[in-house]
Amino acid sequence: MTSFDHDLFVIGAGSGGVRASRIASGHGANVAVAEEFRVGGTCVIRGCVPKKLLVYGAHFAEDLVDAKRFGWQIEGKAFDWPTLRDNVLGEVDRLNGLYQNTLDSHQVTTLHGRATFIDAHTVAVDGKRITAKHILVATGARPFVPDIPGAELGITSNEVFHLPTLPRRVVIAGGGYIANEFAGIFHELGSDVTLINRSESILRGWEPALADRLLTISVAKGINFKLSCGLERLEKTADGIRVHFTDGKSVDTDVFLWAVGRRPNVEGLGLEAAGVALSETGAIQVDADSQTSVPHIYAVGDVTDRIQLTPIAIREGHAVADRLFGTRDWRVDYSVVPSAVFSNPPLGSVGMTEAQAKNAYGTVKIFTSDFRPMRNVLANRNERALYKLVVAAASDKVVGAHMIGPDSPEILQAVAIAIKAGLTKAQFDDTVALHPTMSEELVLMK
């Protein structure tokens, strides 16, 4: 019998890697994890958490305006970017410490350095060779930056949390999660925002009616959109960056933010030395158990490019640890995955869109509620919420729920339980409304 330094070696202490390490160690495994940047990974250090805190910080801009209609006189209000930035980064530091404590208290050995494969059972971290019976790759993804002249003048979501000053003008490339979230943040904070996207719409893959609603509201708020737009090059100017489009036009900006997707972190990992195969899209190829082409090597999270969300990476990591060292062999269910765009207003979505349900079930019933939230009415804020339920006609099951409006992500999480449980529209209707709320619309749709 060959002996190894560890039962499990995890590469990457982000969402998936930390969960897998902690659970495996709890099952009695001898675990080590390598992290080349900061324990916590993208979500904690430069993703979900600081982003959501900026969303909260930015929303005071509208709340303070609306407050007047509710009788509050707020004189001399002013926003200070360094205060928000530094408080957010302080919270990130606190969480980073908590994640490290979690690893330490679970007797997981943390190696602060970059890990690369030497062979299928050996990794090197800063020149030190370590062997393991099982290896888990949880290296995440990084922002994609297209290869156009001057691309390096732009920043990515990695840098956006550290800006020295609040930019007067921001151009954001992309029409997905990150682009719409930061368009909302910067616009509320007072920057002049332009979102440019190569396709003619935003939020591809989302229920189109909701994406259209976000576009309409964002335009009404004053965010500029340049859609169906090709980027030619970025040029440094005396006071910022000039963005040149393929139609010959240009726009000047202080900050250019790339938000055109994320690519799996596979480069320089030595995956060839270990014999780990990649998919056609350059992600680590895995089966439903997150097992790679090498049976004792697993991969979870963004590096596998399945669904790039933290709760998915966490579940995948947990399932691997349970499978290898626990008593429960289970698989992640990807069929009902709630997700949200923390734009202004935010969107929440779970299950199938109308188009997907038509493909899957043939006949579907659609129920919508298009309403102005009570708070917006008194605030004279002409922003309507839109809720949409997708029901499979034959079974009456609710197979999709899609919402845009205040607090949609908070409401959507509860709806996801109902959809996961396979509840029917009749059961939604049987539920007594909670009045006065926005979410009561979910049980009142006729």
Angle at 132 between CA 130 and CA 137, to 5 degrees: 95
Question: Is residue 18 helix, strand or coil?
Answer: helix
Tell me: does residue 160 bind ligand NAD (CB under 6 A): no
Q: Is 17 annotated as a binding residue?
A: no
The size of the interface with ligand FAD (CB under 6 A), counted in residues, is: 34
Q: Is 90 annotated as a binding residue?
A: no
Pick the binder of ligand NAD from 341, 391, 401, 404 (CB under 6 A): 341
Give yes or no for residue 339 binding ligand NAD (CB under 6 A): yes
Q: CA 203 → CA 64, 155, 307, distances in Å?
A: 29, 21, 15
DSSP codes of every residue in 387-414: EEEEEETTT-BEEEEEEESTTHHHHHHH
Q: Which of 101, 199, 228, 382 binds ligand NAD (CB under 6 A)?
A: 199
Phi and psi based region of residue 425 (left: phi greater than 0; alpha: psi -120 to 50; beta: remaining): alpha
Sole window of 335-343, 377-385, 391-399, 438-446 interacting with ligand NAD (rule: CB under 6 A) = 335-343
Site string for ligand FAD, 278-317 (x = CB under 6 A): -----------------------xxx----xxxx-x----
- Among residues 27, 134, 162, 435, which one is catalytic? 435
Starting at the earlier edge strand, list the strands of the sheet with 231-237: 231-237, 240-245, 250-253
Q: Footprint of ligand NAD on residues 342-381 (CB under 6 A)?
A: 342
Is residue 210 part of the contact set for ligand NAD (CB under 6 A)? no
In this complex, which beta carbon is closest to ligand NAD, that of residue 202 or of residue 324? 202
**Which of ligand FAD, ligand NAD, none does 176 bind, CB closer than 5 to 8 A by kind?**
ligand NAD
CA 311 to mean position of chain CA atoms: 10
What DSSP element (H or E) covers 315?
Answer: helix 310-325
Closer to ligand FAD by Cβ: residue 126 or 370: 126
> C-alpha angle 372/373/376, rounded to 5°?
90
Q: Which helix (H) or strand (E) holds 242?
A: strand 240-245
Q: Judged by CB under 6 A, does residue 177 bind ligand NAD?
A: yes
Site for ligand FAD in 139-158 (CB under 6 A): 139-140, 157
Q: Supply the minimum distance, in Å, between the C-beta of residue 262 and ligand NAD.
A: 4
Does 218 interact with ligand NAD (rule: CB under 6 A)?
no
**Does 35 engage in binding with ligand FAD (CB under 6 A)?**
yes
Angle at 144 (CA atoms; ends 15, 20), nearest 5 degrees: 15
Q: Is 302 annotated in some ligand binding site?
A: yes
CB of 326 to ligand FAD, least distance (A): 19
Does 43 bind ligand FAD (CB under 6 A)? Our answer is yes
Tell me which amino acid residue 13 is.
A
Nearest to 373 by CA among 411, 338, 426: 411
Q: Is 340 in the site for ligand NAD (CB under 6 A)?
A: yes
Determine whether 187 is an active site residue.
no
Q: Are 330 and 310 contacting, i.e. CB atoms less than 8 angstroms apart?
A: no
Q: How many CB atoms lie within 10 A of CB 102?
A: 17
User: What is the closest distance, in whole angstroms, from the C-beta atom of residue 135 to ligand FAD in the complex?
Assistant: 12
Residues 213-272 interacting with ligand FAD (rule: CB under 6 A): 265, 269
Which residue carries 């964002």 as its tokens? 218
Considering only residues 249 to 308 of the shown chain, the ones binding ligand NAD according to CB under 6 A are: 259-262, 308
User: CB burial class (10 A; 0-12, 13-18, 19+) of residue 235?
Assistant: middle
* Interaction between residue 9 and ligand NAD (CB under 6 A): no
CA dist 234 and 371 (Å) reads 42
Stretch that binds ligand NAD, among 159-167, 320-328, 337-345, 379-387 (CB under 6 A): 337-345
Long-range Cβ pairs for the range 405-409 (8 Å, 24+): 405/345, 405/346, 405/373, 405/438, 406/345, 406/346, 406/373, 406/375, 406/376, 406/438, 407/346, 407/438, 408/340, 408/345, 408/346, 408/347, 408/348, 409/340, 409/342, 409/346, 409/347, 409/348
- Nearer CB in complex with ligand NAD: 246/382: 246
Does 197 sit near ligand NAD (CB under 6 A)? yes
Choosing from 7, 15, 121, 276, the residue that interacts with ligand FAD (CB under 6 A) is 15
- Residue in the block written with tokens 């393991």: 132
148 binds, among ligand NAD, ligand FAD, none (CB under 5 to 8 A by kind): none
230 annotated binding-site participant: no
Residues that bind ligand NAD (CB under 6 A): 146, 173-179, 181, 197-199, 204, 259-262, 308-309, 339-342
Q: Residue ranges for the binding site?
A: 52, 174-181, 261, 302
Active site amino acids: 435
Annotated binding-site ranges for NAD(+): 174-181, 261
